[in-house]
Amino acid sequence: MPLSVVQAGRRVRVVAVDAGHGLEGRLAALGLAPGEEIEVLRNGLDGPFLVAVKGSRLALGRGMAQKIRVA
């Protein structure tokens, strides 16, 4: 399922990133690579989409979150 549909407070594991090499590399540099566990901190209609990964908080655009597959 895409990361964009995960409810706040849930922990999930990245399965794949369905993006071009540029975005895939950028997300991997931020810690969003296959196998990494992340926690969704905020997923509301207003405001940024926030996740926690490797002790850092990241704000992602909805388009980016849609391309990250999680389980």
Question: From CA 5, how far away is CA 60, in angstroms rounded?
Answer: 13
**Residue 53 belongs to domain spanning:** 3-70
**Residue for token pair 């991997």:** 28
Q: And the tokens for 8?
A: 């706040």
pLDDT at position 5 is: 94
Cβ-Cβ contacts under 8 Å for 26 (sequence gap 6 or more): none
**Residue for token pair 């950028």:** 26
Question: In total, how many domains does the chain have?
Answer: 1
Question: From CA 3, how far away is CA 64, in angstroms rounded?
Answer: 9
- For residues 12-38, give the mean pLDDT: 94
Q: What is the pTM of this model?
A: 0.91
pLDDT at position 67 is: 95
User: What CATH number does the domain containing 27 carry?
Assistant: 2.30.30.90
pLDDT at position 48 is: 84
Predicted confidence (pLDDT) per residue in 58-70, tens digit: 999 999 999 999 9
pLDDT at position 47 is: 80
